[in-house]
Amino acid sequence: MTTETKPAVSELIKKAIGAHGMWKERLKAAIRTRKGDITVEQAGRDDRCEFGKWLNEFAEGNTSPHLARIKELHRAFHHEVAAVLLAVRENRGNAEELLGIGSPFAHASALLTAEMLAWAREAESASPHDTAPGWSAR
């Protein structure tokens, strides 16, 4: 694979923000249908999504000050996703509340997004042509 086919680090981060933003829609659908498209255990794993896999690989030897914080926030985000799906699985009536404004899910999502945007801005200003190692073009 040539470097030209790999996205810049900032592009990958922005793609991941979009993918994680879609979780809210997936969770709303799970609440509505009373079943998720992924298990609670799978959703709770921060190393199973495309971004999590890449993040773990990219973090090796990388010194960005955002990485440790993003890894922590990404783990917390997936924990909250799993909590919502667990409420759905257990047929608890509070699943929708777990997505609302001020909920742990909303808080985790906002913090993760903000830190990822800060990292994307840093990556753009530092070296706009750096590519993301380990990325497979689709």
Q: pLDDT tens digits, residue range 80-123? A: 999 999 999 999 989 999 999 999 999 999 999 999 999 988 88
**Is residue 38 a contact partner of residue 89, using CB atoms and an 8 Å limit?**
no
What's the Cα-to-Cα distance from 74 to each of 12, 71, 128, rounded to whole Å? 15, 5, 24
Please provide the size of the chain in residues: 138
Q: 0.75 exceeded by the pTM?
A: yes
Select the CATH number that applies to the domain covering 3-126 from these four: 3.90.550.10, 3.40.50.980, 1.10.260.40, 1.20.120.30: 1.20.120.30
**Is residue 55 a contact partner of residue 13, using CB atoms and an 8 Å limit?**
no
The Cα–Cα gap between 40 and 63 comes to: 32
> Residue 127: what pLDDT?
56
Looking at the DSSP assignment, which residues form a beta bridge with residue 8?
131
- The larger pLDDT score, comparing residue 53 to residue 128, is at 53
Lowest mean pLDDT among 4-8, 25-29, 124-128: 4-8
